């Protein structure tokens, strides 16, 4: 992981050679990485794959493998708010890369806090939740695999428990933990799903006084859910990042500066992490040197380079996608460039972006028919 | 922006492409009052001379054709519909031409034989004939193509009915603006025309309306159409059903590929393929140079991008095209190992997919916003079979270039209700039937006198 461009080029060349579907896309756009990918600027011309191609309904996920199907270890699947999860084949080597990314983020994630409190189920529970067999390989929640790569302390408390087929939040346990630590400034980390944490805090606000956990607590959210939807959780409205931070910060007595959020998705490999900036009232995501993000104009799809520019997020992966065609992925999320070279808040030298949210839409219902063939099949 | 319809006090906020709208919707009791008001005016409406309404609509059409007048409406519509102003103007001007006196008179003559039959008794071989209005008509309007609004309202007024118009939440503006322009010319229009809004999820309101009106004209989606059909059957209300249709083009013979491509491109661009008359598939005879035609269609779409651009007000429109384009390319080209050629812009401006076999039915749902399949066929029977197997219950307009009368006969027998030249799919010549019937006929009773 010394030279991102060289490693990305190697990864892409291999993807071009080993994934006929990706080669087909490239050929269609007149792009041959052997010829056209020679310098860093050329990365902006690299064809991308839309995340929706990995959806179960698209039935394309086997065509997006770079290795024979029988050699993959598992299918990692998204949480599927829509009921149509993404399915991405992965091998151990790619999953181990996730652990390496976590290691590289040690300074930010602060593993090994005296007490880790997690608003997700235990990794093994999460991985096997609603698991099924596809082409003889087990599906596992991508989030479960991310949690697995985290290596939580043995005494980590997981507030989400499985009861039958349902996952339930143990609010009583959360209440006990925060009461126990009230006013003690213990080294704690509160990690997990944004809507779950938000819901839990809002529920407790009705039944107890705020606590003061102090400045040694890290609140690390991840896995999305800002639009108010995550898996089977549906809230009335999207969660405003500022509202979330202010609400949780005030109720638990944790400084706003201690909030971080990680962003990634099943079809991608490296997560990006943002720290909350009270000045910007938003999370500012740093693009690490082991990955690259391109923000593309919504109309022209051309790469954007100026602070304030808003567009689709494309992620370039040099590592961790050796099993599937994940080297260059465009996702239906919108991002905004904050700076191309330095975080204006903490001054770290890196591209910095904000995540605006998911692209939403639907055709107006009208006299032009939509056939809804999938619906007919059910 | 606050939109106050004819009646109602319940505010509902809606954000369409970042335009904040406050729709003042109606409750059930308010709608009943409105229906009662309209019903009380049915005799008065019947007694108005037809020429009065023709002149009113003509003035209204001219008002909208004045670009200074329509300017602010174009801007709002462009935003709501996520269509460029240029395209909205193009569509609006075609739509408003329809309201000009000469076109209305032609329409009435083609549909009913004479204008007089709406005002008085007209001699026939057996005695006399007259057209009487049904009474109060409920117009359930869709939001995909605003042409529906003046079409439905003008037919309702010309047929001397009183009209209750429900706008769509997807496009709640144009009917309101059109109603206001009629009121500007003649405030008494309120006696026979009401424009309302209510949340479609309240199906009980539909039930009340259908129960208390004399006729329903429905424009819109399949689900709501089915619901209206069931209600009309239950309450023995006359239903005029328009909607949930799919159109296509068949290119059997051509003189000039570029010219034909130009006409097809125009059909594709109008209404961003969201109207029932918009083509989703172009079937092309294999004897023609299909690659040349597909390329030419793409070239023309590119050319029109500068004249009638897309709006890109909603990122979804852009992302969806990119996703669908990649999906279709890989599905047909890689998974099905078929011969696929893609002629498209890099961005989402236009997509032409030439596939050596006919497309799967499910992919027809992707053909919106300048996204079209070109499918070569060996024989016209192949097209017939495909249409019969996949689209029989949705047929409407067929753009046709060729001279195979037998094919036209078979297609119209199958359910195609309008056959046009390429380039004319969105142009409804005065008097042309609509979904297999004439609206003025449907909105009136034929009464006979043998005295």
Subunit contact B276:A28, Cβ cutoff 8 A: no
What is the number of alpha carbons within 13 Å of residue A138 lying toward its C-beta? 11
Question: Does residue A370 carry a pLDDT above 90?
Answer: no
Chain A residue with the nearest C-alpha to that of B348: A299
Subunit contact A365:B220, Cβ cutoff 8 A: yes
Is residue B427 one of the residues assigned to a domain?
no
**Confidence (pLDDT) at B143:** 81
Same domain, B227 and B354: no
Q: Alpha helix (H) ranges present in A83-240?
A: 92-104, 106-109, 123-128, 142-148, 171-180, 194-205
Is residue A75 one of the residues assigned to a domain?
yes
Quote the CA–CA distance of B279 and B273 in Å, as a whole number.
7
Closest of B335, B5, B413 to residue A58, by C-alpha: B335
Burial class (CB in 10 A: 0-12, 13-18, 19+), A82: exposed
Same domain, B443 and B346: no
Same domain, B211 and B238: yes
Look up the ipTM and state it.
Answer: 0.92
Q: Does A237 touch chain B (CB under 8 A)?
A: no
Chain B partners within 8 Å of A363 (Cβ): 144, 274, 368
Is residue A159 one of the residues assigned to a domain?
yes
Quote the CA–CA distance of A101 and A99 in Å, as a whole number.
5
The domain of A102 spans 4-360
Chain A partners within 8 Å of B318 (Cβ): 298-299, 301, 312
Is residue B428 one of the residues assigned to a domain?
no
Is residue B267 one of the residues assigned to a domain?
yes
**Confidence (pLDDT) at A360:** 79
**Confidence (pLDDT) at A366:** 65
Query: Confidence band (pLDDT; 50, 70, 90) for A236?
Result: low
Quote the CA–CA distance of A29 and A46 in Å, as a whole number.
10
Of the candidates A50, A364, A369, which has its C-beta nearest B244's C-beta?
Answer: A369
Please count the residue pairs, one from chain A and one from chain B, whose beta carbons lie less than 8 angstroms apart. Answer: 150
Closest of A258, A256, A190, A177 to residue A222, by C-alpha: A190
Is residue B52 one of the residues assigned to a domain?
yes
Model confidence over B340-367: pLDDT tens digits? 999 999 999 999 999 999 999 999 999 9
Same domain, B324 and B264: yes
Model confidence over A41-98: pLDDT tens digits? 999 999 999 999 999 999 999 999 999 999 999 999 998 767 899 999 999 999 999 9
CATH number reported for the structural domain that contains residue B164 in this entry: 3.40.605.10
The domain of B416 spans 246-420
Same domain, B167 and B270: no
Closest of B411, B415, B381, B104 to residue B245, by C-alpha: B415
Q: Does A360 touch chain B (CB under 8 A)?
A: yes
Is residue A369 one of the residues assigned to a domain?
no
Model confidence over A281-316: pLDDT tens digits? 999 999 999 999 999 999 999 999 999 999 999 999
Pairing mode, strands B128-133 and B444-449: antiparallel
Burial class (CB in 10 A: 0-12, 13-18, 19+), A374: exposed
Chain B residue with the nearest C-alpha to that of A331: B319
Same domain, B371 and B439: no
In total, how many domains does chain B have?
A: 2
- A33: alpha, beta or left, given left = phi > 0 and alpha = psi -120 to 50? alpha
Chain B partners within 8 Å of A298 (Cβ): 312, 315, 318
**Confidence (pLDDT) at A365:** 58
Pairing mode, strands B122-123 and B128-133: antiparallel
Quote the CA–CA distance of A370 and B394 in Å, as a whole number.
10
Is residue A372 one of the residues assigned to a domain?
no
CATH number reported for the structural domain that contains residue A327 in this entry: 3.40.50.12780
Instruction: Tell me the mean pLDDT in the region B390-419.
Output: 97
Is residue A368 one of the residues assigned to a domain?
no
Is residue A283 one of the residues assigned to a domain?
yes
Same domain, B32 and B118: yes
**Confidence (pLDDT) at A110:** 74
Is residue B312 one of the residues assigned to a domain?
yes
CA dist A248 to A273, A285, B9, Å? 19, 20, 38
In total, how many domains does chain A have?
A: 1
**Confidence (pLDDT) at A230:** 64
Is residue A45 one of the residues assigned to a domain?
yes
Chain A residue with the nearest C-alpha to that of B17: A361
Q: Alpha helix (H) ranges present in B270-404?
A: 290-307, 315-330, 380-390
Chain A partners within 8 Å of B365 (Cβ): 370-373
Subunit contact B273:A368, Cβ cutoff 8 A: yes
Instruction: Tell me the mean pLDDT in the region A332-349.
Output: 97
Same domain, B229 and B297: no
Model confidence over A144-161: pLDDT tens digits? 999 988 888 888 999 999
Same domain, B393 and B275: yes
Model confidence over A195-213: pLDDT tens digits? 999 999 999 999 999 999 9
Chain A residue with the nearest C-alpha to that of B167: A366
Same domain, B87 and B98: yes
Quote the CA–CA distance of A116 and A218 in Å, as a whole number.
10
* Strand order through the sheet with B162-166: B193-196, B162-166, B136-140, B215-219, B238-242
Same domain, B211 and B262: no
Is residue B426 one of the residues assigned to a domain?
no
Chain B residue with the nearest C-alpha to that of A59: B331
**Confidence (pLDDT) at A372:** 61
The whole-model pTM stands at 0.92
Residues 6+ apart with CB under 8 A from A204: A171, A174, A175, A178, A251
Of the candidates B246, B275, B362, which has its C-beta nearest A373's C-beta?
Answer: B362
Model confidence over A253-277: pLDDT tens digits? 999 999 999 999 999 999 999 999 9
**Confidence (pLDDT) at A377:** 45
Same domain, B332 and B402: yes
Is residue A371 one of the residues assigned to a domain?
no
Chain A partners within 8 Å of B364 (Cβ): 371
Torsion of CA A11, A13, A15, A20, to 10 degrees: 180
């Amino acid at each position: 992981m010394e030279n991102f461009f060289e490693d990305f080029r190697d990864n892409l060349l291999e993807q071009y050679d080993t994934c006929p579907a990706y080669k087909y896309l490239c050929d269609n756009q007149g792009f041959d990485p052997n010829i056209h990918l020679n310098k860093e600027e050329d990365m902006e011309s690299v064809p991308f794959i839309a995340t929706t191609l990995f959806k179960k309904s698209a039935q394309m996920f086997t065509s997006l493998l770079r290795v024979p199907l029988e050699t993959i270890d598992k299918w990692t699947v998204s949480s599927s708010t829509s009921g149509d999860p993404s399915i991405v084949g992965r091998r151990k080597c790619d999953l181990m890369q996730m652990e390496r990314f976590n290691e590289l983020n040690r300074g930010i994630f602060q593993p090994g806090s005296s007490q880790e409190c997690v608003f997700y189920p235990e990794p093994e529970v999460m991985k096997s939740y609603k698991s099924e067999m596809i082409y003889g390989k087990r599906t596992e929640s991508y989030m479960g695999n991310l949690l697995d790569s985290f290596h939580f302390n043995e005494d980590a408390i997981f507030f989400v428990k499985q009861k039958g087929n349902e996952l339930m939040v143990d609010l009583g346990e959360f209440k006990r933990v925060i009461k126990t630590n009230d006013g003690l400034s213990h080294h704690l980390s509160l990690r997990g799903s944004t809507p779950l944490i938000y819901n839990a805090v809002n529920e407790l606000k009705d039944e107890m006084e705020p606590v003061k956990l102090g400045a040694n607590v890290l609140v690390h959210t991840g896995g999305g859910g800002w639009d108010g939807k995550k898996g089977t959780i549906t809230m009335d409205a999207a969660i405003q990042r500022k509202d979330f931070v202010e609400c949780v910060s005030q109720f638990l007595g944790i400084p706003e500066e201690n909030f971080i959020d990680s962003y990634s998705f099943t079809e991608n490999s490296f997560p990006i992490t943002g720290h909350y900036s009270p000045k910007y009232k938003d999370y500012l995501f740093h693009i690490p040197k082991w990955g690259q993000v391109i923000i593309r104009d919504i109309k022209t799809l051309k790469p954007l380079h100026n602070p304030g520019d808003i567009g689709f997020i494309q992620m370039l992966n040099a590592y961790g996608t050796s099993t599937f065609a994940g080297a260059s992925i465009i996702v239906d999320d919108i991002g905004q460039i904050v700076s191309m070279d330095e975080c204006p808040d903490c001054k770290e030298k890196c591209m910095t972006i904000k995540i605006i949210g998911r692209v939403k839409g639907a055709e107006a219902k009208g006299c032009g028919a939509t056939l809804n063939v999938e619906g007919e099949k059910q | 922006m606050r939109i106050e319809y004819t009646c109602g006090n319940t505010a509902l906020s809606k954000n369409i492409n970042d335009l904040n709208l406050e729709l003042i919707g109606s409750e059930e009791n308010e709608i009943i009052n409105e229906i009662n008001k309209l019903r009380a005016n049915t005799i008065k409406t019947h007694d108005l001379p037809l020429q009065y309404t023709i002149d009113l609509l003509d003035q209204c059409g001219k008002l909208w054709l004045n670009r200074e007048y329509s300017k602010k409406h174009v801007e709002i519509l462009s935003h709501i519909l996520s269509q460029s102003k240029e395209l909205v103007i193009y569509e609006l001007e075609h739509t408003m031409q329809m309201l000009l006196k000469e076109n209305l008179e032609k329409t009435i003559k083609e549909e009913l034989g004479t204008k007089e039959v709406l005002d008085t008794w007209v001699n026939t071989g057996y005695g006399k004939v007259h057209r009487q209005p049904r009474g109060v008509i409920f117009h359930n309007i869709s939001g995909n193509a605003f042409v529906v609004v003046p079409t439905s309202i003008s037919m309702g007024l010309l047929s001397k009915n009183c009209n209750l118009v429900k706008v769509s939440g997807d496009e709640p503006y144009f009917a309101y603006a059109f109603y206001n322009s009629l009121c500007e010319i003649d405030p008494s229009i309120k006696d026979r025309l009401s424009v309302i809004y209510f949340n479609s999820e309240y199906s009980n309101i539909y039930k009340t309306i259908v129960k208390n009106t004399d006729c329903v004209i429905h424009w819109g989606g399949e689900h709501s159409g089915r619901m209206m059909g069931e209600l009309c059957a239950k309450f023995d209300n006359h239903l005029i059903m328009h909607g949930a249709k799919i159109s296509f083009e068949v290119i059997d013979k051509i003189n000039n590929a570029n010219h034909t491509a130009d006409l097809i491109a125009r059909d594709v661009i109008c209404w961003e393929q969201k109207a029932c008359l918009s083509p989703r598939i172009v079937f092309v005879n294999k004897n023609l140079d299909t690659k040349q035609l597909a390329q030419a269609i793409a070239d023309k779409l590119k050319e029109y991008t500068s004249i009638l651009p897309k709006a890109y007000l909603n990122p979804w429109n852009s992302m969806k095209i990119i996703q669908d384009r990649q999906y279709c390319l890989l599905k047909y080209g890689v998974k099905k190992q078929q011969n696929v050629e893609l002629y498209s812009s890099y961005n989402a401006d236009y997509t032409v997919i030439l596939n050596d076999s006919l497309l799967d039915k499910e992919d027809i749902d992707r053909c919106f916003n300048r996204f079209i399949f070109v499918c070569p066929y060996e024989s016209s029977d192949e097209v017939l079979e495909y249409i019969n197997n996949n689209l029989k219950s949705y047929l409407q307009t067929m753009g046709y270039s060729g001279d195979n009368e037998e094919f036209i006969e078979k297609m119209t027998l199958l359910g195609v209700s309008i056959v046009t030249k390429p380039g004319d799919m969105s142009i409804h010549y005065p008097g042309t039937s609509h979904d297999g019937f004439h609206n003025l006929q449907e909105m009136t009773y034929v009464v006979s006198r043998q005295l």
